[in-house]
Structure 1
Amino acid sequence: MTVLQPRSPQRVSAPSAATRFDWSRDEWLAYADRLLDTARIFASPGHGRIHFPGAEGGYGHAVDGLEGFARTFLLAGFRIAGARGEGTGELADFYRQGIVTGVDPDADDRWVRLDEHAQAKVEAASLALVLDMTRPWIWDRLDEVTQQRVIAYLAPVVGDSTYPKTNWLWFRVVVQTFLRSVGGPWSADDIADDLALHDELVRDDGWISDGFERSYDHYVGWALHTYPVLWSRMQGAGELAGGRTPADIVRLDRFLQDAVALIGGDGSPLIQGRSLIYRFAAAAPFWIGAMAEVPSVPLGQLRRAANAVVAHFADAAVPGEDGVLTMGWHHEWRELAQSYSGPGSPYWAVKGLLGVALPADHPVWAAQSTPLPIESGDELRTVRPAGWVISGTQADGIVRIVNHGTDHAADGSLVGDSPLYARIGYATAAGPLANQRAWEEPLEQSVALVDAAGRATHRAAMDLIDVRVQDDEGGRVGIAASVSRAHWIDIRPTAHRHGSGIEGEIEVAGAVEVHSLVRGPWEVRLVRVDSLEPGVDAASLSLRVGGWALAADEAPRSPNEGLRPNEGRITVSGPSPRRTPSSQDTENRADAAASVFADALSSGIRPLLGAGAASVETREDASPLGPLAAVPVITFPVEPGAWTATLVELTSAELASPGDAAVALEADGDQTTVTVTWPDGTATTSRLAHPGTASVANR
């Protein structure tokens, strides 16, 4: 047994009726004001740029300063609009002066122009949105020269066809809508094209892909659902919308039914997808739901959801004592950011404080608080377009997903697995490994063929073959499955990553089929190597199945320190053989399991079918949740056509099961039936879908 010191207090809390998720409006304002007060400390002399402390971002010092201004201007706009201008005169004056300076071509701290750097196109949308939102207190009080300079600054957006076909479409729509409202240039064709693109990205059940790759993440909520509603409230937008807004709200309403189920009992959002340094921006769609008056999710639950997310980070001392948002999750960890991100980038988090734009007399503030799904009971549901099964368990407060359809890759492409998208599982209480090695080598929450040189295969872009919830006599079971052309990759260096996996020279290993059966804190992961490529020798390979990664502060100490797992320390237990198991190992040993305990969490793994050997892999400076991460894994010999089964568990340490479970498979022609006896003694029977026998519509 090896013991590590924890980084932080327990990250999982039992649901309660405590008021930590029921801030008053004054508490929301105080949190927002602290961020705004700190931002002004770091402003340039003319207020045109705000340079937060930290290393320069990949786009340079000038872009960093523009981001610092524009992103905090969002929050200033929310604050001013929510107060209807009362008591916010000094704040409005500060940012109004920044605008005067920003568009002055001779000012030292002027803004980077849209034709100088593409990042300015992103920030321009924040500028335009808030100028519209605060029109009586900022725009109308700018002198005519400055107003014309603002129009000239924003004008290059018109006719610009270089915008990525992602959530960026809304940046062009928002800017041109504002330009139109102030007599500036605009293009009806541009707006029509962008709205049509948005509609092309719409999927089932209110979900929207961030581009034409399989990209489902927090951008669905904080961008692709947030901007349509904010845009509809801009001056003149109703004339451009063509009656589309009700349909946008219907999709938002359906999305929010899933989104509220993705918040953990401790308020944590799902630790998945790019731009996680925006942290509590994940609260934005709940406020947008309140603004749009969605019918299906109560106002009190929308407010509580937003509050839970923001309070989660406030409880983790975000921002820190200096009042600055850093690039990280609970603490600064630069690896979590995109390579181009700078010190001002994290301030897109302020979208999660959008509620302060709702005045004190808005009904959301008086609505009775409604518990989140995780506070009311266990949750099991699917997100079909993303290929996700969501499993939330009230007892430990953890929400997990198993993922068989999201990889930030295009159909049919063979690229590296993005650790932020292509892993089999993500959760609110455990983070993916995200250092450079994690991009090169899938480990946690993965199934990989590993060759004699230690190279692990990738699965992007996998094919989704099943995602559903089955009602069985023994209870409900979530089922998702995919098949991939498992491949090794020799990396091609790149200057910037935007979420997709690495590219390089590809060597295909074979076809690997993975099925996840989900119930409560458990996943039974069934794996079959359907075939190997000619020349690929099964005897030279091993099949590695990785469990959940947990992280802590320090390197391993000496063993046998006499600490129990539930004392808030990390413990790594189980055998650690560095060998490939032999096919002659016909029975699973009683100790063929591995567990990692961290901050009252437990990550366990155990073979149920096949000759699996257990071990624990450690990685340094690989996790956003701590400097040392540990991953329990099971390694099997490779036998094409044979099934393996592994029990994977993530729960609180006090609820961790001994892992007693069983799997029985029955084949009948092309049909396979699996009976699982779960650790709690419940038995369920499910029929598996195989490639070519099932399909999932409208991914």
Structure 2
Amino acid sequence: MTAPYVSLPALPPDDLALSPVTGWTRAHWEALADRLLDGLLPYATPGFAQYRLPGPPSHSGAWSDGLEGFARSFLLAAFRIAGSKGRVGPELIERYAAGLAAGTDPQHPEHWPPIADRSQPMVEAASVALALHESRPWLWDRLDDGVRGRVVEWLGRFVGARVNDSNWRLFQVITEEFLASVGARHSRAEIDAGLARLDDWYRGGGWYTDGDGKKFDYYNGWALHLYPVLWSRIAGPRADPGTVARHRARLREFLGVHQLFLGSDGAPVHHGRSLTYRFAAAAPLWAGALADATPLPPGRTRRLASGTLKHFTERGVPDEHGLLTLGWYRPFPGVLQRYSGPASPYWASKAFLGLLLPEDHPVWTAPEEPGPVDTTDSVLALTAPGWLIHSTTSDGIVRLVNHGTDRLPPPPATDADSPHYAKLAYSTATAPDTPLGPDNHLALIAPDGTPSPRGRIHPLGCEGRTAASWHEAYGHHVETVSVVHGPWEIRVHRVDETHNGRVREGGWALADDTAPPVAESGPGWARARRTDGLTSAVVGLYGWGEGAGTVVAAEGVNAYGRYSATPVLEGTGPLLVTLVTLGTGPYAGASARVDGAGGVEVRFPDGVRERVDP
């Protein structure tokens, strides 16, 4: 299907006096919101109750996907309407009012699917409720009584329904709190239970797991922290002050860390599910400002949020038709889940939450301030998710080393490896090859050549610049310790001595759209290099022998570019030490020495030494 042409509004000129880092101002955000809303118009059904976008349907089907298009874009429209105090073209308000009337009329051909137990309309109901609350003076208050009654009836099916035990509990909280705000039937017990469940999942340091298990990703920011802030706005005096204060304190702590997940070019670390929501990663930054729950100066908040939005717009997002496609930059199925439908990417609307802050708020008027990666190299151990975050100003890259998050339910449940959770490392400059490639993975190789999965990750500790974990591979115990410094990571792997087969380790998958990365290898090392100089390399420091490294090339499997290349090593030893690097700096000069007690002293290329004990 060829998308119809839409005349898209141009973005304003950069303002480098106010925003010396990105050049972006509130006007850029408003213009891009208008561009996204205009791009949807050709796909609206005649009554504006659904948006049927091109692309394969989700597992919920086209009917639900059409509701998703309305609800998620309604959230964006509500932020735009409320942020301008209704000073938008009246047609924007009118078409969402028309959509509400048609969608909630069971006799209308465009009516919405009902809310049922654990159904996708639950997700979309929360967006409808939020949008109605934030745009209340311009929409809800002006709907006729019949439409308001039907809206309440449709949303009211949430009361008493069964909800997935995850961030979905907050969809129920939001929807029923809106019902309470308009005097409709709701369950205070269900609202309280959803908020209490959130407390069950809190792991400290600003981190929630998304349901039981070790499920840490961007849902922590764009759902588990975001919805409590928005709930308190709906609840007003009905909200318990202690609960609100607790949520704000946790958000404040989280934002001190979340700012470290964004590279100097605005890219978020490419990790976790629902990555097609893209710049929704900026939503918690605005939420912190909105709730007065952020440690960040206002100029830094805008620099980080604008940098993320600008990062994607400079890389073809939205596309030439004004649409958010199912992918990362270009359409790319490797970042999708079964629930991803053509309108799913419009959860990115959450990034525009900052428009609710008035034009004279300091986040819009203060001069931009640099982000953390702009000014200093850093290393931070995050004990709750089991991650090391290390970044370097020389290349602006943020790297995440993973020794704690696999997104598996608690034992004995099992599941297949996901390339967005099972890897040893992720970054703002790379994506994993999908389906599972050799990148950032240590695999035992079966006799038939099949590499072992990582499976369940068992954390062993995360402190300073070191993190460790173990996993079981083909019945063998494999322990890995990572030590980071600058752009480098040294990994010490211990495989139980009953294993006598081959072992393979991959470095970062480097991708490019213009040409395949240059591949080079030699005895005990391999590297891939892009035309801009960015290099991924692996060097065997101990146990790998003198066997030649190789570079595994692939095409069409990486979100960052058409061509990808991963340097890999193969060996057989029970103790293996590897230098893994992503950047533009040197990687020669590293070494490892094993003492009689089994400890490993490692030396980084710049001479810094660390000891890794068994």
Q: Is the 8 A contact 1:272 1:421 kept in 2?
A: yes
Structure 1 residues without counterparts, runs of 5 or longer: 1-15, 470-477, 488-508, 533-537, 555-567, 576-590, 691-699
- Taking the aligned partners of 1:454 and 1:19, their CA distance within structure 2 comes to 53
Alpha-carbon shift at residue 299 of structure 1 (Å) = 1.3
Bigger shift: residues 214-223 or 359-368:
359-368
Matched, 1:148 2:149: yes
Provide, for residues 160-219 of structure 1, a one-character-per-residue CA deviation record: whole Å limited to 9, x for no partner.
Answer: 12x111111110000000111112111111111111100011111111111112111111
SS at 1:46's partner residue?
A: coil
Alpha-carbon shift at residue 630 of structure 1 (Å) = 1.4
Specify the alignment match of 1:694 in structure 2: none
Distance 1:514 1:658, change over 3 A: closer
- Taking the aligned partners of 1:151 and 1:241, their CA distance within structure 2 comes to 24
Distance 1:221 1:36, change over 3 A: same
- Taking the aligned partners of 2:264 and 2:296, their CA distance within structure 1 comes to 18
- Taking the aligned partners of 1:279 and 1:268, their CA distance within structure 2 comes to 9
- Taking the aligned partners of 2:81 and 2:369, their CA distance within structure 1 comes to 28
Q: Is the 8 A contact 2:21 2:370 kept in 1?
A: no
Specify the alignment match of 1:551 in structure 2: 511
Specify the alignment match of 1:632 in structure 2: 567
Matched, 1:171 2:171: yes
Alpha-carbon shift at residue 94 of structure 1 (Å) = 1.2
Alpha-carbon shift at residue 242 of structure 1 (Å) = 4.9
Distance 1:91 1:631, change over 3 A: same
- Taking the aligned partners of 1:685 and 1:376, their CA distance within structure 2 comes to 25
Q: CA RMSD in A?
A: 1.9
Specify the alignment match of 1:686 in structure 2: 611
Distance 1:20 1:297, change over 3 A: closer
Q: Is the 8 A contact 1:46 1:101 kept in 2?
A: yes
- Taking the aligned partners of 1:658 and 1:464, their CA distance within structure 2 comes to 28
Alpha-carbon shift at residue 453 of structure 1 (Å) = 0.8
Matched, 1:59 2:60: yes
- Taking the aligned partners of 2:18 and 2:236, their CA distance within structure 1 comes to 41
Alpha-carbon shift at residue 238 of structure 1 (Å) = 3.5
- Taking the aligned partners of 2:140 and 2:82, their CA distance within structure 1 comes to 13
Specify the alignment match of 1:674 in structure 2: 600
Provide, for residues 438-477 of structure 1, a one-character-per-residue CA deviation record: whole Å limited to 9, x for no partner.
Answer: 1xxx5210111011211111222121101111xxxxxxxx
- Taking the aligned partners of 2:415 and 2:244, their CA distance within structure 1 comes to 37
- Taking the aligned partners of 1:305 and 1:329, their CA distance within structure 2 comes to 19
Specify the alignment match of 1:584 in structure 2: none
Matched, 1:527 2:493: yes
Alpha-carbon shift at residue 27 of structure 1 (Å) = 1.3
Which structure is richer in relative contact order (CA contacts within 8 A, separation 6 or more)? 1
Amino acid at match of 2:506: G
SS at 2:242's partner residue?
A: coil
- Taking the aligned partners of 1:17 and 1:457, their CA distance within structure 2 comes to 52
Amino acid at match of 1:602: T
Distance 1:295 1:129, change over 3 A: closer
- Taking the aligned partners of 1:329 and 1:35, their CA distance within structure 2 comes to 16
Alpha-carbon shift at residue 58 of structure 1 (Å) = 2.6
- Taking the aligned partners of 2:148 and 2:127, their CA distance within structure 1 comes to 16
SS at 2:495's partner residue?
A: strand
Specify the alignment match of 1:261 in structure 2: 260
Specify the alignment match of 1:351 in structure 2: 350
Provide, for residues 484-541 of structure 1, a one-character-per-residue CA deviation record: whole Å limited to 9, x for no partner.
Answer: 1124xxxxxxxxxxxxxxxxxxxxx210000101111111111011254xxxxx34x2
- Taking the aligned partners of 1:467 and 1:459, their CA distance within structure 2 comes to 19
Specify the alignment match of 1:195 in structure 2: 195
Specify the alignment match of 1:90 in structure 2: 91
Matched, 1:184 2:184: yes
Specify the alignment match of 2:6 in structure 1: none
Q: Of 665, 668, 682, which aligns to 2:594?
A: 665
Specify the alignment match of 2:303 in structure 1: 304
TM-score of the aligned structures, taking structure 2 as reference length: 0.93
Count of residues in Structure 1 that have an aligned counterpart in Structure 2? 594
Specify the alignment match of 2:517 in structure 1: 570
Matched, 1:606 2:539: yes
- Taking the aligned partners of 2:416 and 2:118, their CA distance within structure 1 comes to 28
- Taking the aligned partners of 2:19 and 2:356, their CA distance within structure 1 comes to 25
Specify the alignment match of 1:434 in structure 2: 434
Amino acid at match of 2:192: A
- Taking the aligned partners of 1:447 and 1:569, their CA distance within structure 2 comes to 24
Amino acid at match of 2:202: V
Specify the alignment match of 2:469 in structure 1: 482
Counterparts of 1:109-128 in structure 2, within 5 Å, are 109-115=110-116, 118-128=119-129
Specify the alignment match of 1:493 in structure 2: none
SS at 1:452's partner residue?
A: coil
Matched, 1:619 2:554: yes
- Taking the aligned partners of 1:485 and 1:658, their CA distance within structure 2 comes to 30
SS at 1:246's partner residue?
A: helix
Specify the alignment match of 2:398 in structure 1: 399
* Same amino acid, percent of matched pairs: 39
Amino acid at match of 2:453: H
Specify the alignment match of 1:214 in structure 2: 214
Matched, 1:512 2:446: no
Provide, for residues 229-258 of structure 1, a one-character-per-residue CA deviation record: whole Å limited to 9, x for no partner.
Answer: 111111x34414352111111111111111
Specify the alignment match of 2:5 in structure 1: none
Bigger shift: residues 180-189 or 272-281:
180-189
Q: Is the 8 A contact 2:406 2:455 kept in 1?
A: yes
Alpha-carbon shift at residue 42 of structure 1 (Å) = 1.5
Alpha-carbon shift at residue 611 of structure 1 (Å) = 2.8
SS at 2:202's partner residue?
A: coil
Q: Is the 8 A contact 1:673 1:685 kept in 2?
A: no
- Taking the aligned partners of 2:217 and 2:538, their CA distance within structure 1 comes to 27
Distance 1:17 1:144, change over 3 A: closer
SS at 1:514's partner residue?
A: strand
Distance 1:687 1:625, change over 3 A: closer
Bigger shift: residues 658-667 or 33-42:
658-667
Q: Is the 8 A contact 1:592 1:606 kept in 2?
A: yes
Alpha-carbon shift at residue 598 of structure 1 (Å) = 2.4
- Taking the aligned partners of 2:331 and 2:608, their CA distance within structure 1 comes to 44
Specify the alignment match of 2:4 in structure 1: none
Distance 1:17 1:572, change over 3 A: farther
Alpha-carbon shift at residue 102 of structure 1 (Å) = 0.5
Specify the alignment match of 1:557 in structure 2: none
Alpha-carbon shift at residue 338 of structure 1 (Å) = 1.0
Specify the alignment match of 2:37 in structure 1: 36
SS at 1:233's partner residue?
A: helix
- Taking the aligned partners of 1:522 and 1:18, their CA distance within structure 2 comes to 32
Matched, 1:449 2:444: yes
Q: Is the 8 A contact 1:304 1:369 kept in 2?
A: yes
Q: Is the 8 A contact 2:397 2:427 kept in 1?
A: yes
SS at 2:214's partner residue?
A: coil
Bigger shift: residues 595-604 or 17-26:
17-26
Q: Is the 8 A contact 2:524 2:544 kept in 1?
A: no
Alpha-carbon shift at residue 410 of structure 1 (Å) = 3.1
Q: Is the 8 A contact 1:151 1:179 kept in 2?
A: yes
SS at 1:650's partner residue?
A: strand
Specify the alignment match of 2:7 in structure 1: none
- Taking the aligned partners of 1:626 and 1:295, their CA distance within structure 2 comes to 35
Q: Is the 8 A contact 1:209 1:216 kept in 2?
A: yes
- Taking the aligned partners of 1:55 and 1:686, their CA distance within structure 2 comes to 51
- Taking the aligned partners of 1:297 and 1:380, their CA distance within structure 2 comes to 19
- Taking the aligned partners of 1:516 and 1:69, their CA distance within structure 2 comes to 45
TM-score of the aligned structures, taking structure 1 as reference length: 0.82
Distance 1:412 1:608, change over 3 A: farther
Counterparts of 1:238-387 in structure 2, within 5 Å, are 238-387=237-386
Specify the alignment match of 1:465 in structure 2: 460
- Taking the aligned partners of 2:612 and 2:542, their CA distance within structure 1 comes to 17
SS at 1:382's partner residue?
A: strand
Amino acid at match of 1:530: D
Amino acid at match of 1:527: H
Alpha-carbon shift at residue 41 of structure 1 (Å) = 2.5
